Amino acid sequence: MNHFYVYQWLRTDSTPYYIGKGQTNRAFDKRRRYIPPTRDRIQIIKDNLTEQQAFDLEIKLIAKYGRKEFGGILRNKTEGGEGPSLTQSTKDKLSKMFKGKKKHYTVWNKGKKLNYNNGLTGHTAEAIAKIKAARAKQVMTKRSKETREKMRQAALKRGKRLYMIGNKFALGIKKVA
């Protein structure tokens, strides 16, 4: 089947820094160990290749540009031509082998009751009710200009900037709207 291609990732100066073999969306896939550059810096060198043709071209291009560790310009870890794709029969065998097997990990909160009481975990229902009633009575009073200025000056002396968030002040945190 001729559905493989060879691609290169380019630096901003248009020189390649990685050459690879792929199929489907590999050159553009962001779920990899190394995140690809923007689409305008990814080039498909040649497509419609068999896997062996793609391996051969990848090896040839890596040899042409050279790897960084040997004085070249590419960040490739190998000379290329490695990591053949799994055949459909191999995929089927693996799928059959893992079907019905238990996973060897457990979910951290499996079977636990979750408590969504605004951070009031570990308290009795009576204590939670008292805390909530006390919080409800608290009234946020607006600080006077004089108090705000004193707070700002004190923060500046400590080398911090004071930002206003609603009626509250926060050190070093600026609200982005």
pLDDT value of residue 31: 74
pLDDT over 60 (residue 177): no
pLDDT band for position 73 (50/70/90)?
A: very high
DSSP string, the chain: ---EEEEEEE-TTS-EEEEEEEETTGGG-SSSSS----GGGEEEEEEEE-HHHHHHHHHHHHHHH-BGGGTSSB--SS-S---PPPPHHHHHHHHHHHTTPPPS---TTTTPPP--STT-TT--HHHHHHHHHHHHH---PPPPHHHHHHHHHHHHHTT--EEEETTEEEES-----
Segment 20-66, tens digit of pLDDT: 998 888 888 877 777 788 888 999 999 999 989 999 999 999 999 99
In this prediction the pTM is: 0.51
